[in-house]
Amino acid sequence: MYGEDQTLGTTEMGEATRRDFLYIATGAVGAVGVGALAWPFINQMNPDASALALASVEVDVSNVAEGQQIKVMWRGKPLFIRNRTDKEVEEANAVDVADLPDGLARNLNLAEDAPATDKNRAAGADGSEKLIIMVGVCTHLGCIPLGEAGDFDGWFCPCHGSHYDTAGRIRKGPAPENLLIPPYEYTSETVVKIG
């Protein structure tokens, strides 16, 4: 025992022994086991099929009459799509951006620093300002504002008193930002893909 080579795992020639193989095989099986155990926890963080289906939505806006608003669900949030009247567009254009509590357009289709003009918030396929598409969630605490209400005949959040104008810009109340304009593109003259 005292005269033998005390090196474990290799012979005097430096070749691998059965013990080395067992160490490597045990480590490999352990790594596969940890991976198999961790996979369900990692996979549950991926969005489910219903969330992926709502990642984008197509809406035919030709059915939205002038002065009418429809609500569509997108990513679990309501979208307000409104075909505004000429009077509503005129009222929105008459507002000086410098007088707004939030001077940014909050339009995900434009640069972050785009001003909150009515044109920068409108979504008409032909460049008109009549159609507007917004995420219908109050920027204060996430309530759903009421349409054609409030001091500016736009949207009103009765929970805490936020008033938005006909372009969805905050005008009065605790909400810090304008209603968000989601990413969108027209797939035809009357169909808009949101998301």
> What pTM value is reported for the model?
0.70
The C-alpha atoms of residue 175 and residue 117 are separated, in whole angstroms, by: 18
8 A C-beta contact, residue 172 and residue 140 = no
pLDDT at site 1: 47
Give the pLDDT confidence of 42-57 residue by residue, as tens digits.
Answer: 888 877 766 666 678 8
Q: For position 12, what pLDDT does the model report?
A: 58
Domain stop point among 46, 65, 80: 46
What's the domain range around 82?
A: 52-194
Residues 6+ apart with CB under 8 A from 36: none
- 102-113 pLDDT, tens digit each: 999 999 999 999
Give the CATH number of the domain where residue 68 resides.
2.102.10.10
Number of domains, the chain? 2
- 166-195, pLDDT tens digit by residue? 999 999 999 899 999 999 988 888 888 988
pLDDT of residue 50: 67
Determine the pLDDT at residue 129: 85
170 and 134 together in one domain: yes
What is the pLDDT at residue 9?
52
In this structure, are 42 and 71 located in the same domain?
no
Based on the domain organization, do 14 and 110 belong to the same domain? no
CB distance 158 to 141 below 8 Å = no
pLDDT at 14: 60
Q: Does 119 share its domain with 89?
A: yes
CA atoms within 13 A on the CB side of 94: 9
Does residue 160 have an active-site annotation?
Answer: yes
Q: Pull the structure tokens for residue 158.
A: 């009765």
Mark whether 77 and 162 lie in a shared domain.
yes
Residues 42 and 125 in one domain: no
| Residue of 160, 187, 189, 190 with catalytic role | 160
Clarify whether residues 9 and 27 are in a common domain.
yes
In this structure, the answer to whether residues 20 and 105 fall within a common structural domain is: no
Mean pLDDT across the chain, nearest whole number?
85
Q: Which residues in the chain land under pLDDT 70?
A: 1-14, 49-54, 125
